[in-house]
A and B are shown apart, each in its own frame.
Chain A
Amino acid sequence: MSVSSLKSDMPAESHNLDELDRKIIRATQGGLPLVSEPYQQVAEEVGTTAQEVMVRMQRMLDSGAIRRIGAVPNHYTLGFRGNGMTVWDVPEEKVQQYGRMIGELDFVSHAYHRPRFLPEWRYNLFAMVHGSDREAVKEKVAAIAELLGEDNRAHEVLFSTRILKKTGLRIAGG
């Protein structure tokens, strides 16, 4: 059975998730079972068929409710001990241009446009920068600063000093 044969004719409306979709999300958000037929195992857990699980997961993938399916590497244990949240004050009308540019750098995992809170918080562009240690991160931050040139009006790197809490997603209807 190929992925294309599983395409559902139901609309890919993101908030049209029903109870069975939510059960599938809850059953898989911690990971897929490491068995030969993982969708079959999920189906047994939620009380449906493997075919139904596959159709629904394909639909969620098509609608963007699932970003992707695969391995999520742990930066920290893989040797990227320096992980800095870098924040940048760039002209509002150029955020998109610079966000895309920075988001494509191979040491940046995510970049976001966020609101400022003047005067206390002037930064409108966030980028997570990964390196082997803090020094490596700082070098990469300098490279970003060079890219932005004069449009980098100010920037800072916020290193995490402690994880205070880490839990999973919460799904309505649980």
Chain B
Amino acid sequence: MDAIDRSIINTMQGGFPICEHPYAVAAEQLGIEEAELIERLGRMLEKKQLSRFGPMYHAERLGGGLSLCAMRVPEADYERVNEQVNAFPEVAHNYARDHEFSMWFVLATETPERVEETCKEIEQVTGYRVYNMPKKEEFFVGLKFEV
């Protein structure tokens, strides 16, 4: 990764233009050619230095539900519960964390009501309580990650 790659990451986390030739416009701001920008983005995606390039959608504003949920799952039961939780298509991400609250997953549902329903279904299947922790407020800046 060289200075141009770093500059792409640092300056292109938002504001990508919506126009016929957006890469050409963005490339000009970076002082490089359109083809070079496209090539560099492709390479950084391939190397997983970027996890994505494009629009970031806001799940709740698309009419769906979104919540962070946690469960206290003992080690002995972990694999069973993990399989049962992951089997729900509403579970978008699931992380093991080193805490008594050991399983943390994000529910992304097609309607807001489905969040509560899915929590109840997961409780029934697994036998463990689901702590539903939807955000009450978001303090999001997020455009400042620098390399």
Q: Smallest CB-CB separation from B89: which chain A residue?
A: A170
Tell me the number of A-to-B contacts counted with CB atoms below 8 Å.
248
In the complex, are the beta carbons of B52 and A31 less than 8 A apart? yes
B138 within 8 A of A: yes
Known: A78-B147, A161-B97. A71 touches B55 (CB 8 A): no
B47 is an interface residue with CB less than 8 A from chain A: yes
* Interface: A136 (CB within 8 A): no
Other-chain contact of A25, B45, B62, B72, B139 (Cβ < 8 Å) = B62
The CA-CA distance from A42 to B55 in the complex, in Å, is: 12
Q: Which residues from 73 to 114 on chain A have a C-beta closer than 8 Å to any C-beta of chain B?
A: 73-75, 77-79, 85, 95-96, 99-100, 102-104, 106, 108-114
Q: Which residues of B contact A95 (CB under 8 A)?
A: 136-137
Chain A residues contacting B128 (CB-CB under 8 Å) are none
Q: How far is the CB of A119 from chain B (nearest CB, A)?
A: 12
Interchain CB contact under 8 A, A159 and B61: no
Interface residues of A in 35-93 (CB under 8 A from B): 35-40, 50, 54, 57-58, 60-61, 63-75, 77-79, 85
**Is B111 part of the binding interface, using a Cβ–Cβ cutoff of 8 Å?**
yes
- Asked whether any CB of chain A lies closer than 8 Å to the CB of B119, the reply is no
Q: A103, B141: Cβ atoms under 8 Å? A: yes
B50 touches A68 (CB 8 A): no
In angstroms, how far is the closest chain B Cβ from the Cβ of A108? 8
Please tell me which one of the listed residues A32, A85, A106, A114 contacts residue B144 in the complex, with CB atoms under 8 A apart.
A106
* Residues in B whose Cβ lies below 8 Å from that of A30: 52, 54
B142 at interface by CB-CB < 8 Å: yes
Question: Whole-angstrom distance between the alpha carbons of A108 and B63 in the complex?
Answer: 27
Among A61, A71, A77, A120, contact of B13 (Cβ-Cβ < 8 Å)? A71
Can you list 19 contacts pairing A with B, beta carbon distance less than 8 Å? A1-B19, A14-B61, A17-B62, A25-B57, A36-B21, A60-B57, A69-B14, A71-B13, A71-B50, A72-B56, A78-B9, A106-B146, A108-B141, A110-B140, A161-B97, A163-B95, A165-B93, A166-B94, A170-B92
> What residues make up the interface of A, taking CB atoms closer than 8 Å to B?
1-3, 6, 14-15, 17, 25, 28-32, 34-40, 50, 54, 57-58, 60-61, 63-75, 77-79, 85, 95-96, 99-100, 102-104, 106, 108-115, 117, 120-121, 126, 130, 156, 158-172
